[in-house]
Amino acid sequence: MTAEHLAVTSHGPADDPRAILAVHGITANGRAWDTVASLLPERRVLAPDLRGRARSNHLGGPYGLRRHADDLAALLDADGGGARTVLGHSLGAFAVVALAAARPDLVDRLVLVDGGLPLALPAEAESADDVDIASLLGPAAQRLSMVFADDEAYLDFWRAHPAFARDWSPAVAAYALYDLDGEAPRRRASTIAAAMLADGAELYGPGWYLDALRGLRMPVTVLRAPRGLTDEEPLYPAGVLDGFRDLVPQLEIVEVPDVNHYTILFAPRGASRVAQAAARTPNPTKEST
């Protein structure tokens, strides 16, 4: 399925009239949602590859959150329009906030998975222009400049990633293999580095994005992972999400135990909490732990 040439992985029954939209992270692809979608068998889930990634990497710039919002709106319009539950992980959570602000008619609920709320600038950075996005992302960015002899070499790279040290699975392998471009012995990750850099520059809360958050009127749930991209420091330190209720008073915060930034989607213990958040009607006044 395509809309405006975005490649989309579709899960679930074709007759579900209001598919869930699920949007992946900064160097990821739509297959990141396979485990979550498998836990929602009665729902149709649309998981696109964002512009500059995977099967959509032939789509050029400009990139940025508002360009992604336009692409996602075109996808949902082509799917019949109407408000539906929208999920986003990491960068994808920022993209769906931009979508909800631009096209609230398409978004009934937002579920933000370890993303979507502006990141704190590193201590040494005065502005987002000073942030080394590639360094922040670690191995996920490093692989974009690497060449792999074959599929197994790429899988070995991901097996060695600290985030998957105890959570390697067939779902991770399928996600990784879907990501590959080129022919052996010069296989490469599919994400366009310029897309990663352009999108990463908007993760620290430019003024327009703060206005977008402030204007949200639909229920918003954010799920926090206690460990980060390399299974160490979290993207959002404990307690920091509470401060965003000044911008989003209806924000519901869900703490997901014993996961990192990746395994909140890939490990059953994380994916089950994401699926529960997607399937239920939220209570914006309740905080889960």
Per-residue confidence (pLDDT) for residue 173, from 0 to 100: 98
| Percentage of residues in the chain having pLDDT higher than 90 | 89
pLDDT per position as a tens digit, 6-38: 999 999 999 999 999 999 999 999 999 999 999
Two tokens at 188?
């490469």
pLDDT per position as a tens digit, 37-89: 999 999 999 999 999 999 999 999 999 999 999 999 999 999 999 999 999 99
pLDDT per position as a tens digit, 152-189: 999 999 999 999 999 999 999 999 999 999 999 999 99
Instruction: Identify whether the C-beta of residue 273 lies closer than 8 Å to the C-beta of residue 252.
Output: no
pLDDT score of 3 more than 60:
no
pLDDT score of 282 more than 60:
no
pLDDT score of 251 more than 60:
yes
Sheet with 20-23, side-by-side order of all strands: 2-3, 6-11, 45-48, 20-23, 84-89, 107-113, 220-224, 251-255
With cut-offs at 50, 70 and 90, classify the pLDDT of residue 2: very low
Which residue, 243, 261, 231, is CA-closest to 205? 243
Which of the 8 DSSP states describes residue 58?
A: T
201 contact partners, CB below 8 Å, separation of at least 6 = 128, 129, 131, 133
Two tokens at 220?
């918003």
With cut-offs at 50, 70 and 90, classify the pLDDT of residue 281: low
With cut-offs at 50, 70 and 90, classify the pLDDT of residue 125: confident
Domains of the chain (ranges; CATH) run 2-121+191-279 (3.40.50.1820)
pLDDT per position as a tens digit, 96-107: 999 999 999 999
Q: What pTM was estimated for this model as a whole? A: 0.95
Cα(118)–Cα(75) distance, integer angstroms:
25
